Amino acid sequence: MPHFKKLTPNLLVANVERSLAFYVDTLGFARGMTVPDAPPLVFASITSGAVEIFFNDVATAVKEYSAFAGQPIGATGTMYIEVEGVDALHDRLKANVPIAMPIATQFYGMREFAIQDPDGYVVTFAERV
């Protein structure tokens, strides 16, 4: 059996610079690498601790993955990110970011809420209580 080491969401986005700015300036991630080094970008990454997310320009990605042609961007799943200080993060974001799921303590012991990013991806932030 293989030993899986890491999962990095690789999101198709309408505008790499916009996604990079949202995740860095609004959510607080650190900027990773970009391709090319200056806009217009076709790829970028962001990081925070063990969390890493890639952003790919949709037109560029379709050249490698033809199955993406004509498909809407966004997803029906969520990215689920555990954090420390979920209430403070919620309070900081709620006035400026679309809230997809209000903050609540769930029966399975997590306090969580979800936001929607500029491309329609849903990001759930959670903290064990």
Mean pLDDT of the chain: 95
For 52-101, the pLDDT digits (tens) are 999 999 999 999 999 989 989 988 889 999 999 999 999 999 999 999 99
What are the C-alpha distances in Å from 65 to residues 23, 68, 92, 117?
25, 6, 37, 23
pLDDT-derived band at 36, boundaries 50, 70, 90? very high
d(CA 25, CA 63): 30
pTM of the entire structure?
0.92
Strand 43-48 and strand 30-35: the pairing is antiparallel
